[in-house]
A and B are shown apart, each in its own frame.
Chain A
Amino acid sequence: MFEDILNKFLIIDGVSSVTIIRDNGEVVESQKTGDFDDGQLAAVISFVLEESKSMASKLGKEPLSMVFIEFRDHILLSAPLKEHIFIVLIAKPSANIAQINLELKKNRERLLMIL
């Protein structure tokens, strides 16, 4: 079930990884085509999410809706699914972020049901 939903992201042009992680860095589920270690990736991302939440709280004590990090060769998009659990996607810079966001909206409820 998890696999089916995550594959919907993976078939989007340019997306190389989709991972569900807890904010302590634990990987809940992962689908990827790249050769990186998703455990290490989740650990680093957990730090990014922690700092992102700190920054959001500094600006108005509001919850984080999305984190988007852009590098020359990859982009990373992360959004909270429920408390302490995030979805993280890695894609090429040419990927259509709007399409990823749309797919995220369409599948959020199904993911929450499984989680």
Chain B
Amino acid sequence: MIKNLPEGTSIGEMRASLQWVLSHTARFAGLVLVTIQGSRGFILINMGKPLAYYFRHGQNVLNGHAAYEYFHSQPFIQFELRKYTALEMTLALGLASATEVTAVQPSPGKQTNGTVQELSGPSAEPSPAETTPDSSNPQIPLSAEEDGLSANEMELNEYSTFANDTIPYIGLSQNFTLSEDDENDLSLFPHVPLRTIGKLLDSKKTDVGDLILGQIINLPGVLAVTIFGRGINVLSIGEINPENLVDVAEDLINSSKGLSSVMRTGPFIQVTLQIPAGNIIIAPYYDEYLCILTSPGINLGQIRKIIRELPGIETPGEAGAVF
């Protein structure tokens, strides 16, 4: 798993608590490659939001929340920061999604209520329910280097490289050069308009899908995102079992479209179900459908705006419903 991830650009190595890592990576997009007593794992982070946790010790693999709790139980973790371009992040997200290492977004209560899993070190065996066999990846020893760059230094030193790498993905000419001011303007990248990404990478729909899922899952209140079509789940991120949803979601879409036989509705834009546990939003996405699960109380107007910006999505009339 780890060896298949994009290499990225190494920023430096250091040692800190998980809490410190998460609180100092608000502008970091890439891989936190973790080493604990010779065993390795990673956290995939996009602008401060952890997307996936993974840790492997021998034949045991911790995924998602189990890996998070293990990292959290360690007073310090040795790690290397590897910054990703937009494309590298896309590839890493695709791998993480394919191997179901998507993270559970830990709630503050889980970090502080004392229920963190008691694993004193890699020698402690995780419970069978939380482990999966994985014999493909040999352990790679990593030297301990405690005087790496701090996260802040990393941003200042490496940001211009990252910005220049990102130029092709936001629709600028390869010959375009950033001014010195722009190179250090953290607000410019990587907040790329989704529609722009879609136009540029239209021929790489799966890559776009990964990128879009990665961006939507970062929205406050979004629990899971999945793309499905013709009875098959194509991509998914978050806490969701898409196999349970695909058939019934397609039936719902088909019956919703049946309204067109009774009245002149125009093209189908989306369907939203509200249940006490949250919202389910389904919208056409190219030849497939995008399904977003949110927590209750989320701003549906914001989600609808994101959906309208997606490439391959039919846009509603001039005004749009007001929530």
Contact = CB atoms under 8 A, between A and B. Distances in A.
A70 B262 contact: no
Interface centre among A34, A90, A93 (most CB of B within 10 A): A93
A76 B259 contact: yes
Interface of B: 244-245, 248-249, 251-252, 255-256, 258-277, 280, 293, 314, 316-323
Interface stretch (A2-10, A42-50, A107-115): A42-50
Given A44-B255, A71-B266, A93-B321, 20 more contacts: A48-B252, A48-B258, A50-B255, A51-B248, A54-B251, A58-B244, A58-B248, A59-B277, A59-B293, A64-B275, A67-B271, A70-B270, A70-B321, A71-B269, A76-B259, A92-B317, A93-B319, A94-B319, A97-B322, A98-B323
Contacts of A93: 316-317, 319-321
Nearest to B304: A70
Nearest to A37: B262
B252 A72 contact: no
Q: Is the interface of A mostly helix, strand, loop or mixed?
A: mixed
Contacts, number: 136
How many chain A residues sit at the interface, stated as a range, is 35 or more
A55 interface: yes
Interface centre among B263, B274, B280 (most CB of A within 10 A): B263
A44 B248 contact: no
Contacts of B276: 62-63, 65
13 contacts: A36-B263, A41-B263, A54-B251, A58-B244, A60-B277, A67-B271, A67-B272, A68-B274, A70-B270, A72-B314, A72-B317, A94-B317, A95-B322
Given A72-B267, A72-B316, A67 B259 contact: no
